[in-house]
Chain A
Amino acid sequence: MSTLTAVARNAEGFLERVEDWDRELALEIAREAGIAELTDRHWLVVNYMRDTYIKTGTAPTIRTLGKESGVQVKELYALFPKGPAKLAAKIGGIPKPKGCI
Chain B
Amino acid sequence: MRHILILGAGTAGTVMANRLSRRLRSQLRAGRINITVIDPDPTHLYQPGLLFIPFQESFRERITRDRAPTLDRDVRLVAAEIAAMDPDHDTVTLADGTVMSYDLCIVATGARLVPEETEGMMGPGWRESVHEFYSLEGAEKLGYALHCFVGGKLVINVVEMPIKCPVAPLEFAFLADAYFTNCGIRDKVEITYATPLDGAFTKPTAAQSLSYLLEQKGIRLETEFNTGRIETTSPAWETAATSTEPRPPAGELVSWDERRIPFDLLVTVPVHKGAAFIATAAGLGDAMDFVMVDPHTLQSQRKANIFALGDAANCPTSKAGSVAHFQAEVLEENIVRMLDGRALEPGFDGHANCFIETGHRKALLIDFNYDTEPLPGMFPYAWGPVPLLKESRLNHLGKLAFRHAYWNRLLPGRDFPGIEAQMKRSGKRMPAAVGS
User: Interface residues, chain A, CB within 8 Å of chain B?
Assistant: 8-11, 16-17, 52, 55-58, 60-64, 67-68, 73-74, 76-77, 82-83, 85-86, 96-101
Decide: A9 near B435, CB < 8 A? Known: A96-B202, A98-B203, A101-B203: yes
| Complex contacts, B197 vs chain A, CB 8 Å | 97-99
B137 within 8 A of A: no
Extra 10 A-B pairs, beta carbons < 8 Å, given A56-B286, A100-B317: A8-B435, A56-B316, A57-B316, A83-B198, A86-B224, A96-B198, A97-B198, A98-B197, A99-B166, A100-B354
Chain A residues with Cβ under 8 A from B368's Cβ? 100
Taking CB atoms, residues of chain A closer than 8 Å to B288 are 64
- Most chain A CB within a 10 A radius of its CB, from B210, B257, B286, B356: B257
CB-contact partner of B256 in A17, A77, A98, under 8 A:
A77
Interface: B344 (CB within 8 A): no
CB neighbours (8 Å) of B198 from chain A are 83, 86, 96-97
Q: Least Cβ distance of A88 to chain B in Å?
A: 12
Q: Give A86's nearest chain B residue, CB to CB.
A: B198
Flag if B201 contacts A99 (CB, 8 Å).
yes
Q: Does the CB pair B196–A98 fall under 8 Å?
A: no
Contact at A57–B295, with CB atoms within 8 Å?
A: yes
- B122: CB under 8 A from chain A? no
- Select from chain B the residue with minimum beta-carbon distance to A68: B287
Question: Taking the complex as formed, is B377 at the interface, i.e. its CB lies under 8 A from any CB of chain A?
Answer: no
Q: Is the CB of A73 within 8 A of B228?
A: yes
Q: How far is the CB of A19 from chain B (nearest CB, A)?
A: 12
29 A-B pairs whose Cβ atoms sit less than 8 Å apart in the complex = A8-B435, A16-B435, A55-B292, A56-B316, A57-B295, A57-B316, A58-B162, A58-B316, A60-B287, A61-B160, A63-B226, A63-B271, A67-B287, A74-B256, A76-B256, A77-B257, A97-B197, A99-B161, A99-B195, A99-B203, A100-B203, A100-B317, A100-B320, A100-B354, A100-B366, A101-B202, A101-B203, A101-B366, A101-B374
Nearest CB of B to A57, in Å: 3
**Is A8 in contact with B436, judged by CB distance below 8 angstroms?**
yes
Q: State the CA gap A77–B226 with chains docked (Å).
A: 11
Using CB atoms, name the residue of chain B closest to A20.
B436
Q: Mark B70-113, 1 if CB is under 8 A from A, else 0.
A: 00000000000000000000000000000000000000000000
B318 within 8 A of A: yes
The reply to whether B352 and A100 form a contact with Cβ atoms under 8 Å apart is yes
Chain B residues lying within 8 Å of A97, measured Cβ to Cβ, are 161, 196-198, 202
Bitwise interface map of B from 183 to 227 toward A, beta carbon under 8 Å scored 1, else 0: 000000000000111100111101000100000000000001010
Contact (Cβ within 8 A) A101 B256:
no
> Distance in Å from the Cβ of B66 to the closest Cβ of chain A?
32
Q: Is the CB of B201 within 8 A of A82?
A: no
A10 to B101, CA, bound (A): 50
Q: A8-B435, A98-B197, A100-B374 are in contact. Are A58 and B167 (CB under 8 A)?
A: no
A82 cross-chain contacts in B, Cβ below 8 A: 224, 257
Asked if B202 contacts A98 (CB within 8 A), the reply is: yes
Say whether A10 contacts B435, CB under 8 Å.
yes
> Is B314 interfacial (CB 8 A cutoff)?
yes
Nearest B-chain residue to A101, judged by Cβ: B206
Is B117 among interface residues, defined by CB-CB distance under 8 A?
yes
**With a CB–CB cut-off of 8 A, which chain B residues contact A98?**
197, 202-203
Q: Is the beta-carbon distance between A62 and B206 smaller than 8 angstroms?
A: no
**Closest B residue to A81 using CB positions:** B257
B12 within 8 A of A: no
